[in-house]
Structure 1
Amino acid sequence: MTQHESRPDPFDTHGTPFPDALVPPDRMPAIRTAHDLERTWCLLMGELGFAAPQLWLLLILDGRPGPIMKLEVPLRPHEDDLESLPGAIAEIVAVAPGAEAAFLYARPGGAMRTPADLAWARVLADLSPWPVHLANDLELRVATLDDLGATG
């Protein structure tokens, strides 16, 4: 879990300096681990705080951050989202052969995990080999296996 005030560790597990500000995509550090992905989300989001629920999709190409999409979404996924999202993501990923999708669901509000957070995490977890991240106005965290299995 990354608190609002915290900064990523300045060095990744491979000894490569991790920037403390957004840099051009070709200078972004590689994403090899879940920790690398979390720090990448921190850089991309900047300061926490969201006006509306958002779904972020990051394509990871050859271990490097690629294109990013940010969409405003409903607070809780609708039945249409459950049916259409897998096909839409597959189409996006197919544009970049070998790419993998990583997801972040962000919403306004406090740190308490909500049923809507869990609903989005469950939908997205099946669409990516990377852990789903959840963010709100106070923290960024990984959706754990316990989260994905929780009811609510």
Structure 2
Amino acid sequence: MDDDIPALLPLHQVAPLRTQADLHHQWRAMMGPLGFGSRRLWLLFLDPDDRPTELLMQIDDIPDVPREGETDSLLRLCHEVRREHGLGRVAVLLSRPGEGPVRASDRRWGRALLASGRRLDVPLAPLHLAHDAAVVPLAGDDLLAVV
């Protein structure tokens, strides 16, 4: 169980989120006590210097597997928000109930988001997963694992 919850600082006090460790720390602070009733996607827009902005989208009750075109639609919206506000990367966290290792459904979301980001020229920060016991990076090895 990941009980070490860092303090959630005001945005103007948060250092740039340039590494996976920086992002992990921020997501862990933002999630607070862990425990999720459904799957959600969290999209945090970073400024060009990788500092978090007030723009945070939360998409509730996402399906286990992304539907055809779903991640493209989402990343098109992110592209427009970035362009309109002059922003940088988008940090993405998938949260879900349960514990344990990365699941096939987590991998499908991660792969689909990364593919849409590449296709639509939306730079994504390292992806993260939060479940009832921990916040972890969705690392390349996790996403490459056989489903």
TM-score by length of 2: 0.84
Identity %: 33
The answer to whether structure 1 residue 71 and structure 2 residue 59 are counterparts is yes
Distance 1:138 1:116 in 2: 17
Q: CA deviation at 1:130?
A: 1.5
Whichever residue aligns with residue 2 of structure 2, its letter is H
Alignment of 1:3-152 (within 5 A): 3-7=1-5, 20-61=6-47, 62-66=49-53, 67-72=55-60, 73-126=62-115, 127=117, 128-152=123-147
Instruction: Give 3-state SS (helix, strand or coil) of 1:68's partner.
Output: strand
> Judging changes above 3 Å, is the alpha-carbon distance between structure 1 residues 25 and 131 closer, same or farther for their aligned structure 2 residues?
same
How many equivalent pairs are there?
A: 138
More helix by share: 2
1:46-103 deviations in whole A, cap 9, x for unaligned? 1111111000001111221112111112222111314422312212222221421010
Gaps of 5+ in 1: 8-19
TM-score of the two chains, using structure 1 as the length reference: 0.81
User: Does the 8 A contact of 1:121 with 1:134 survive in 2?
Assistant: no
Larger CA deviation: 130-139 vs 75-84? 75-84
